[in-house]
Structure 1
């Protein structure tokens, strides 16, 4: 016997209840985005490695340690996308979508990072991303946060905390960067290995360290918000004012810096304490310099991404996924002559009632076993065909969920007979 082939570690099959929850989350998200006038975009899974090195930052953990990168037959370096924003920016530049126009886009699909698999963190994971191009106002930053809050409400998710911060302009952040380097350099003996490595390459990421031994040192570090220019402070105040007006509660977290180099001004995260260490379920912010950095014309941009696996875990833990829609009609087929006319009859019902769930027995079986299948399907009505019904071109319609008599109905009258029953 050949050895069993299994899935790659950290790349999981999604099926049964998890798949139902996955689909429910995506469909609900799409419905909310449509309410706000956003449009779908489909992006490739594979991009040139240079795109991520240039956008995410060559000295980030993602680019240095986590990307799935390979050379194709032409020798070009390609990478499975580790996140969606860079590919979306590349797409809008390449297709001229930012020329004197605003774009409000969303996408969903798998991302890939070579990480240590754990609950809520996988090597193939799925994101739902939202990106806006062409609007510099804080109003659009607030809209993205507000629509995500509306999504949580529609999903029934509670106890998600919104944390916000501002990273200021690139100029202000670079000046602050040196202030941080000077501060942490004076306390090198208290820095762990990761922080020492980041001291020169990305000192803002030290603020996001989860090492409890460094908590006091980080809390006493200079705050970015104390070193921002007036325009950035005004932008942040505008975002907060819109959130206040719409009743969105938030916490200003001065140590929220996000893990990617391209962010500026507004950054935010929705976090929960109900998923262990992987508590961030949605995160994003503004990245005004990225379009120009990748080769386009300078364009203001802002967006966020949701972790689908983490949100699915929350939905399932709280039993918030509606049950899978059950059958409306189940065709019970008994006898040698019924298979072909039964198939035709089922198709005529699907044609007449496109919203109905019409199932039929396939593979034979006794009257009793087929009615067990009909009951398990949840169907409201069974339509029974035997050899005698085929000869007479009639069908027996039997209610399964309520009191009522079985009726014999001619095939050419079946649609009219079922109409009021299905619309009741």
Structure 2
């Protein structure tokens, strides 16, 4: 059973969660559920935390805060990505306090215990003669890179299906060359809402009329079955069908996998991946759909590759284009506060001001993120009202239902332990 001792009947709320409806208010508002989410979801599943481009050289690191946990993700001297608990093995002090940086060794600022970037304890002053430093290396965290993306898992025994998931998504992502990409920009945005509202909002385009910048390039029919497309979206849907047929011919000629793989709530590491066209020029997320970066990410014969999009439960989504890639990670901060980190990646030799304009590169998703933050805050405010009752998901919100079903399934499995 869970080690939590909440006043709320967590198990009862999880057990009675109705299929096809939003969650009851305590899931989004209570501290008990927030703590359970950290324990049952974020401490037990694979999480996307960074792109390898954020760790270009040995000694480069980022720190990740997950509830009571702090994790150091670092590139070691053999250029492998490793992860460790950010806790000194002497008396438990937090070691690295910055969000990112570069080190030769990892040195605790309290008593100067010194660790290599491989986690080994290298120096501990004034210890007895029988002290064995090999017993006091940093506690490791499981880390795995997939086609230039870094995932970690805090569990002692991480979900075993991640190896299979990685093998299925790598052929889609590898052609974009992320392992040698560089960071063009990174923006952190704190949304005033529960992390699940952030994820639910991302999983549907029912609200996409509120994203005018995004709708210049993203077909607003995402998630719609043909019979559910309303008359107002029918012209966009017809354009999508024509662009999709053209894109499939392009993908096949280039040997790029494109068919959707959707296993959002049927496995422990839920995911969805698909390559499909963009509107306008069909090249990138810009106001006319043309490439935002003249230097393409890889040696593509055409920039008109649309978008390769991927969703990963529980905390990430991605867009891989011909000219750049965008990663999004979600970190819970409090029951009503969530960090959304957006990172733009470009070719390592792309030069700002020559190959790309930073504002043009980031404008669409900066605006979209700000709009989503407002929608999430409104949802949090409404759910906090005593008048709130769970409402039904429509057909276009099937991926929201899949996320919530995945989440409820993971809680049930944890509470039954």
Per the normalisation by structure 2, the TM-score is 0.26
Q: Larger Cα Rg: Structure 1 or Structure 2?
A: 1
Larger RCO: 1 or 2 (CA < 8 Å, sep 6+): 2
